[in-house]
Amino acid sequence: MQASLIKYLLASDAPVDEVLVQGWVRTRRDAKTFSFLEINDGSCLENLQVIVDATLPDFEQMEKANTGAAVAVAGKLAPSQGRDQAWEVVAQSLTVIGEAGPNYPLQKKGHSLEFLREIAHLRPRSNLFGCVFRVRSRLAYAIHRFFQERDFLYVHTPIITASDCEGAGELFRVTTQPPPGRGGDGEGEPRKEFFGKPTYLTVSGQLEGEIFATALKNIYTFGPTFRAENSNTSRHASEFWMIEPEMAFCDLAGNMDLAESFVQYLVRDTLETCRTELKFFNRFVDRGLIRRLESIESRSFTRLGYGEAVKLLRASGRKFQYPVEFGSNLQAEHERYLTEDHFKGPVTVYNYPREIKPFYMRLNDDGKTVAAIDVLVAGIGEIVGGSQREERADFLDRNMDRHGISKEEYWWYRDLRRFGTVPHSGFGLGFERMLMLVTGASNIRDVIPFARTPGSAEF
Ligand code: 4AD
Ligand code: MG
């Protein structure tokens, strides 16, 4: 008999004579003549209750059916006598497949997020992380749907690359050089570069994305990116996933439209398809979550020039730790003021000073700002960063000179401006930041299956 997922059994509209359930015991309660097992198989938040009668030949198995044990139960799906659930399974056979013993670390009492991070190999079995990772999977699917419905092509950009797109020097080297002491022959002598030149883990697929956009028009990437920033914050990971659409024949306004409708689409999809998980987060993680998501989904985002944002912050009367003036980066405290206190909703800030942005952004006619956008949201700050790209060969060359970027190394990027150049635009959405938004998680480590952050790469 094929096993049924618990989510389908719980949604059944009639009793079923023969079912097979496979999962892990969450709790067990013993009465005089029978026992209850609460079983979870990860297909949904809810457990399925199983009644095991003491007269069952397999009843001796119950000794091993402790919290955490893996079990298989065959039986009947019948209306439940209890008030908490519509259906329960009356066991006809019970097999303990894998015991958990008395030292199973995930007991019923709530555990702290910090403790659960230390047991990242078991935390997907908790209610909270089951919900988080079901939402993560669904969100990835919604991202592909959004772009596929709009005829965007999915492009796989390389993970190993020789370029530093953001020019911030936050690169992880890729090398075949063994670590000290693990050398074998030739130890101490530097090896030849495997790829003939220094290579790194990518910080962004954008530059390669531009190549494909200027051939196939609308494209997106969705893959892992790596940054060696030593900022141990709750919003930065060393390895994170990014979605980067790129559109040919598209200016900054079109870019903002896409970025905002993308974020709204993802919020709407989560509201519609992950209702149980959202209710759980709303109850245990963040009491304002569902209301906030409904507001993001239904209200248009505020759009604000960087210059206006600076004026507004200066006029706010707030004492910020980092003072604001034209030319400075917006800090988390400024982003929070705009999204949480002033506009009480997402804000798209555009046209930043060129000095604080990378070489590829298009210079505006004022000669001082570039056609950049950042979408900011409450609790997180920047969730999207993007721009219209500099498509004019001479302007691009000047930018590269100013940023100290080698024109020889980026010959292919410059070629795009020589052969059939067009205005084009795109952005990057941080997948984990988006997940923080829809789950209410306040630490990025809690939306990543196995987080990589400075000083930590367990599992
Ligand atoms: O603003 P960023 O650095 O932009 C780029 O990488 C561009 N190449 C994107 C483009 O135009 N195609 O990063 C984009 C987004 C940020 O807004 C943020 O959501 C996320 O990526 N992000 C991080 N997420 C987690 N950990 C980090 N260390 C992140 N750095 C950026
Ligand atoms: Mg950015």
Residue 374 Cα to ligand 2 middle (Å): 7
| 137 and 212 inside one domain | yes
pLDDT at position 169: 80
As a whole number, mean pLDDT of residues 289-315 equals 97
| 309 and 357 inside one domain | yes
Number of the ligand 1 atom closest to the C-alpha atom of 375: 17
Query: By mean pLDDT, which of 39-53, 156-170, 304-318 is the weakest?
Result: 156-170
What are the tens digits of pLDDT across the range 177-197? 887 777 655 556 667 899 999
What are the tens digits of pLDDT across the range 60-96? 999 999 999 999 999 999 999 888 889 999 999 999 9
pLDDT above 90 for 357: yes
User: For residue 84, what are its two tokens?
Assistant: 């908490």
| 215 and 74 inside one domain | no
- Name the domain boundary from 98, 114, 148: 98
pLDDT at position 185: 54
- Around ligand 1, the residues with Cβ closer than 6 Å are 165-166, 204, 206, 227, 229, 236-237, 240, 242, 244, 382-387, 426-428, 430, 432-433
Q: Which of 147, 243, 433 has most ligand 1 atoms within 8 Å of its beta carbon, as the pocket-test mutant?
A: 433
Residue 205 Cα to ligand 1 middle (Å): 11
| 285 and 392 inside one domain | yes
Total count of domains within the chain: 2
Q: Cβ of 152: how many Cβ atoms within 10 Å?
A: 20
Q: Which domain holds residue 38?
A: 6-98
Number of the ligand 1 atom closest to the C-alpha atom of 231: 28
Residue in the block written with tokens 């700002």: 369
Asked if residue 292 is part of any domain, the answer here is yes
Task: Starting from the CA of residue 220, give the closest ligand.
Answer: 1
pLDDT at position 84: 84
Nearest CA to ligand 1 atom 15: 430
CATH classification at residue 83: 2.40.50.140
As a whole number, mean pLDDT of residues 347-372 equals 97
| 69 and 201 inside one domain | no
What are the tens digits of pLDDT across the range 319-342? 999 999 999 999 999 999 999 999
pLDDT at position 413: 98
Distance CA 220, CA 206 (A): 9
What are the tens digits of pLDDT across the range 9-31? 999 999 999 999 999 999 999 99
| 154 and 281 inside one domain | yes
> What residues contact residue 360 under an 8 Å CB cut-off, 6+ apart?
165, 206, 207, 387, 389, 390, 396, 399
Asked if residue 117 is part of any domain, the answer here is no
Asked if residue 327 is part of any domain, the answer here is yes
pLDDT at position 187: 57
Residue 341 Cα to ligand 1 middle (Å): 24
Number of the ligand 1 atom closest to the C-alpha atom of 387: 11
pTM over 0.75: yes
Residue 230 binned pLDDT confidence (cut-offs 50, 70, 90): confident
| 285 and 212 inside one domain | yes
| 35 and 141 inside one domain | no
As a whole number, mean pLDDT of residues 418-429 equals 98
Alpha helices in 197-324 (DSSP H): 206-216, 252-273, 275-284, 289-298, 306-314
As a whole number, mean pLDDT of residues 399-426 equals 96
Q: Cβ of 117: how many Cβ atoms within 10 Å?
A: 18
